[in-house]
Amino acid sequence: MRIACLHTAESNIAVFEESCRNGDFPLLQLRHEVRPDLLAEVEASGGLTTAIEEKTLEALLALSVEADAVLLTCSSLGPVVARAAGLASSPILRVDEALAREAAESGGTVVALCAVTTTLEPTRALFESAAQGTGATVEVRLVPAAWDLFKAGQRDRYLVLIAEAADHAFGEGVQTVALAQASMTGAAGLCRRGLPLTSPGAGLKAALAMVGKSGKAA
């Protein structure tokens, strides 16, 4: 089975490959395309523009031609999936959508952590939609200074900041903490007060389930 991933950070390739191995998907093959230019344009524009949406849509549709499913791993670009899903013959999913459903399904308080300002609104809309009917209350928080560290190549310090923010939320009595961006995944193992939810494994499982329903897998 072939799943194509559209990333905006090259480091996410290793994150998803590790998640694939740890999730015991022996027959799953991942193909990766990295488009840092798309996120750079979103940050420069302060959010999605029509031009960025069109470029993202084009990239997703191109990947779908030779894949059983496509995962968009960038939360800032996530809203484009709603358009792409109706135009492709293969399932196209947001990697954080399955995360949002998992986080909300038990109700209670959910804190979704983000590192990039441009992910705040897409993440809030996604998690609040998932929380409807579950009784969950959603709060989306930005981890200050984290993204500057990531862009500077200080990945270890970046993950420490994410873990500290997650532990702070757990210390407040929050039942569920979700690391809304795939780049945050490594922080889960650094947390001491609880285990936050991460998106890569949830997204891969959701993609496999969608492929099974569509009957497209070769």
Q: In terms of domains, do 87 and 104 share one? A: no
Are 30 and 89 in a shared domain?
yes
* Structural domain count, the chain: 2
Do both 8 and 84 map to the same domain? yes
Q: Is the pLDDT of residue 56 over 50?
A: yes
Q: What is the pLDDT of residue 61?
A: 96
For residue 31, what is the domain's CATH number? 3.40.50.1860
Q: Judging by DSSP bridges, how do beta strands 2-7 and 29-34 pair with one another?
A: parallel
Q: Compute the average pLDDT of residues 131-149.
A: 96
Please tell me whether residues 102 and 35 are part of one structural domain.
no
Reference 93, options 216, 212, 211; nearest CA is: 211
Claim to verify: residue 89 and residue 15 sit in the same structural domain: yes
Is 180 found in the same domain as 101? Answer: yes
Q: Same domain, yes or no, for 107 and 70?
A: no
Report the pLDDT value the prediction gives residue 215, as an integer from 0 to 100.
60
Query: Do 36 and 61 reside in the same domain of the chain?
Result: yes
pLDDT of residue 92: 95
Statement: residue 217 has pLDDT above 70:
no
216 pLDDT above the threshold of 70: no
> Please, which pLDDT band fits residue 44 given cuts at 50, 70 and 90?
very high
Residue 218 pLDDT = 46
Domain of 55 in residue numbering reads as: 2-96+201-214
How would you write the chain as a 3-class SS string?
CEEEEEECCCCHHHHHHHHHHHCCCCCCEEEEEECHHHHHHHHHHCCCCHHHHHHHHHHHHHHHCCCCEEEECCHHHHHHHHHHCCCCCCCEEEHHHHHHHHHHCCCCEEEEEECCHHHHHHHHHHHHHHHCCCCCEEEEEECCCHHHHHHCCCHHHHHHHHHHHHHHHHHCCCCEEEECCHHHHHHHHHCCCCCCEEHHHHHHHHHHHHHHHHCCCC
85 and 130 part of one domain:
no
Predicted TM-score (pTM) of this structure:
0.91
Do 121 and 86 lie in one domain? The reply is no
Whether residue 26 sits in one domain with residue 44: yes
